[in-house]
Structure 1
Amino acid sequence: MAWIGSVVALAVAGCSDGGRDTTAPAVPIEVSAFASSSVSVHVMWRADPSVAVFEVYRGDTKVLDVTGGRHMVDVGGLTPGTSYSFFVRAKDKAGNVSPASTRVPATTLSVAQGERVPPTAPRDARGQARGKDGATLAWEAATDDVGVTAYDIWQGGVRVHSVTGDHTTAVVTGLRPGTEYHFTVTARDAADNKSPESNPVTVVTEQGTGNGRNTAPTGLRAIPRTAVDGTYVDLTWTPPDVDGTVASYEVYLDGQFLTTVMWGVAPPPGDVRYSLPLGDRPALGHVLKIRGQLPDGTWGVYSDDLVIAAAPAGS
């Protein structure tokens, strides 16, 4: 289906509400920074999950763009024993940029000459659900020839949180109800040497309202129409009940990924409406399905397949 590429370009070029988005996203909050080694600082923040990009600044210089729904990053290439300041700005898909967050200071660690030995693996890692959307993890401290400076928490091969080396507990938030998660913990020292992983920890979050296990959008409806610039399919669906915001959706046509629907600001309340452009191709007979990106960053279950049929008379 060679025409799919042109459909993606049309879909991505427009806004979900048919108009130009000029509203800047909210300022990131709860910004923090701590030196995770002699050459890096770990910066974390909280923000609207629909934000497309976070711009991280060291002093007045932008050093990183963070995408993919991540709310933390290591800023590397720093000088040992040096003071820095950091702030974060949010940028939405339309290119609108928020004001700067609060500036936070951090001083990189000094490193012992020739420190090359990584810490031991954290031992006896364990965890338990913290309500329907979080988990509390704990472990026995790792050892290092000089000292452990940070612990990193991993979920599904992705680092989801970090704490300083004097902590042996962490709280992971933004999870979804009634879901099984697998975590490991690693330790780092001032030279950024990384330990082996701890034993794996399995946590099942508590059930939320409406069970929380069904993460598929429901009630998908499609009405085809023809306009002067081509064929459109007007879609409507009900977001899944996942105790949080579903900020973006993937649309699949005949089993192939077509485009992503997302908002520069918070999604509109209630049912979702989106006009899907198909260029000069007919709409009837194609099969649609969608899935949403959940508050924990993972993708939910696909909706039921929907065959695009003729619009009802009088619609």
Structure 2
Amino acid sequence: MRRVRTTATATAPALSPTAQLCAVLLLLAALASCGWGDPGGDDDGHAPGAPAGVTAAAGSATTVHVMWDAVTADPAVGTYEIYRGTTKVKEVPGSEHMVDVIRLRPSTMYAFTVRARDTDGRLGPRSREVRARTPVAVAADHSAPTPPGAAQGRAIGSRAAQLSWNASKDDRGVVSYDVYQGGAKIHSVGGAQTATVVTGLRPHTRYAFTVRARDAADNLSAASTVVPLTTASGSDDGSGTAPTDFRATTHKGDDGAYYIDLSWVPPRTDGVVTEYQIRLDGQPATSLVWGGTAPRGRATYSFYAGGDAGVSHRVRLRARLPDGTWGGFSVERTVSTGDTKP
């Protein structure tokens, strides 16, 4: 669902069983020191976690579009708070995962963070900080870009849609494109992007999308032609939102144990995919969460598979999409420890 891609590879280091156990014990000790998991405490729940997948991009010389992934919490997230530096500038309902921060200064670097507050009022920690620079203001620019041309789209199963359009023209340059569902703005992408994928849709539902271009002076073009589409009925296999080109091999580590090596291309989404679930032999095996910059191109990951050679395993994975839902599973691969063939 997202823009021009560059290849980036992030490989999580494989840990020996002893190291994994030590890491778990240290984590439990840290949580206990914070008062978490204390059965004698007065708090019946925990504050939401920090939002992941936060991005910020200039929408004009005076606006920045901030997006983040939905946070799963119990009780549910009631609101998200958006901060510019240490100043809270916006608050949106928990069902929304994007906002336009307005009245900014041109040609200025800004830093943003997001926090989740649950319906019981508990405020979670800040997300990682993201930065965006507003472009230089253009004096006396009253000319809006031309409407995006040749807008088209297609449903991807029952819960997503892919949209594309031809670039608009502007005498000073297009800074961003705004995507509308009916009369409501639902997303914004950079001016170099002419395609996007919208997730979080309802099955067997008719939608009408349009796209509008925006320049640095905040001049907004007329809408593109309407793109009507209808999502598929019921649930589907999610193949349109699944990781692609999934590969699996094994290798023997220096400790004598075997490890499964995975490689895949993230699904196209609006927003960065930061979390994956890996299933081994039909059961959830581990969750992979990028703490830093998640890859937009091919990603890799290795995990412990035991000390015995000749053991076969079935493995596949899926991504948590920016709207908080799980995408479809990749194809399933079968590997055997000691066999290096893909």
User: Normalization by structure 1: what TM-score?
Assistant: 0.59
Q: Kindly indicate whether residue 99 of structure 2 is the aligned counterpart of residue 70 of structure 1.
A: no
Q: Deviations over 1:4-28 (max 9, x none)?
A: xxxxxxxxxxxxxxx9754212321
Q: Kindly state the Cα deviation for residue 61 of structure 1 after the two structures are TM-superposed.
A: 1.0
In structure 1, the gaps of 5 or more residues are 1-18, 211-294, 297-315
Give the Cα–Cα distance (whole angstroms) in 2 for the partners of residues 21 and 158 of structure 1: 38
| Alignment-mate amino acid for residue 41 of structure 1 | V
Q: Deviations over 1:222-269 (max 9, x none)?
A: xxxxxxxxxxxxxxxxxxxxxxxxxxxxxxxxxxxxxxxxxxxxxxxx
Provide the residue aligned with 1:39 in structure 2: 62
Provide the residue aligned with 1:138 in structure 2: 164
In structure 2, the gaps of 5 or more residues are 1-41, 237-321, 324-342
Change in Cα spacing, 1:34 to 1:128, as seen in structure 2 (3 Å) is same
Give the Cα–Cα distance (whole angstroms) in 1 for the partners of residues 48 and 93 of structure 2: 15
> Does the CA-based 8 Å contact 1:132-1:176 persist in structure 2?
yes
Q: Kindly indicate whether residue 185 of structure 2 is the aligned counterpart of residue 159 of structure 1.
A: yes
Change in Cα spacing, 1:68 to 1:27, as seen in structure 2 (3 Å) is closer
Q: Kindly indicate whether residue 220 of structure 2 is the aligned counterpart of residue 194 of structure 1.
A: yes
> Does the CA-based 8 Å contact 1:21-1:94 persist in structure 2?
no
Give the Cα–Cα distance (whole angstroms) in 2 for the partners of residues 134 and 144 of structure 1: 30
> Does the CA-based 8 Å contact 1:125-1:198 persist in structure 2?
yes
Q: Kindly state the Cα deviation for residue 180 of structure 1 after the two structures are TM-superposed.
A: 1.3
Give the Cα–Cα distance (whole angstroms) in 2 for the partners of residues 141 and 21 of structure 1: 52
Provide the residue aligned with 1:180 in structure 2: 206
| Alignment-mate amino acid for residue 99 of structure 1 | P
Change in Cα spacing, 1:26 to 1:68, as seen in structure 2 (3 Å) is closer
- Aligned pairs, number: 196
Q: Kindly indicate whether residue 174 of structure 2 is the aligned counterpart of residue 148 of structure 1.
A: yes
Give the Cα–Cα distance (whole angstroms) in 1 for the partners of residues 117 and 44 of structure 2: 12
Give the Cα–Cα distance (whole angstroms) in 2 for the partners of residues 139 and 209 of structure 1: 28
Q: Kindly state the Cα deviation for residue 60 of structure 1 after the two structures are TM-superposed.
A: 1.1
Provide the residue aligned with 2:83 in structure 1: 57
1:129-278 correspondence to structure 2 within 5 Å: 129-209=155-235
Give the Cα–Cα distance (whole angstroms) in 1 for the partners of residues 215 and 141 of structure 2: 9
| Alignment-mate amino acid for residue 200 of structure 1 | V
Give the Cα–Cα distance (whole angstroms) in 1 for the partners of residues 209 and 44 of structure 2: 38
Give the Cα–Cα distance (whole angstroms) in 2 for the partners of residues 182 and 92 of structure 1: 32
Provide the residue aligned with 1:119 in structure 2: 145
> Does the CA-based 8 Å contact 2:160-2:197 persist in structure 1?
yes
Quick one: percent identity of the two aligned structures? 49
Q: Kindly state the Cα deviation for residue 29 of structure 1 after the two structures are TM-superposed.
A: 1.0
Change in Cα spacing, 1:24 to 1:115, as seen in structure 2 (3 Å) is same
Provide the residue aligned with 1:105 in structure 2: 131
1:280-291 correspondence to structure 2 within 5 Å: none
C-alpha RMSD of the superposition: 2.3
> Does the CA-based 8 Å contact 1:149-1:190 persist in structure 2?
yes
> Does the CA-based 8 Å contact 1:34-1:41 persist in structure 2?
yes
> Does the CA-based 8 Å contact 2:158-2:235 persist in structure 1?
no
Give the Cα–Cα distance (whole angstroms) in 1 for the partners of residues 80 and 128 of structure 2: 14
| Alignment-mate amino acid for residue 103 of structure 2 | G
Q: Deviations over 1:260-289 (max 9, x none)?
A: xxxxxxxxxxxxxxxxxxxxxxxxxxxxxx
Provide the residue aligned with 2:286 in structure 1: none
| Alignment-mate amino acid for residue 27 of structure 1 | A
SS of equivalent residue, structure 2 residue 53 = strand
User: Normalization by structure 2: what TM-score?
Assistant: 0.54
SS of equivalent residue, structure 1 residue 124 = strand
| Alignment-mate amino acid for residue 107 of structure 1 | R
Give the Cα–Cα distance (whole angstroms) in 1 for the partners of residues 43 and 155 of structure 2: 42
> Does the CA-based 8 Å contact 1:27-1:47 persist in structure 2?
no
Q: Kindly state the Cα deviation for residue 120 of structure 1 after the two structures are TM-superposed.
A: 1.3
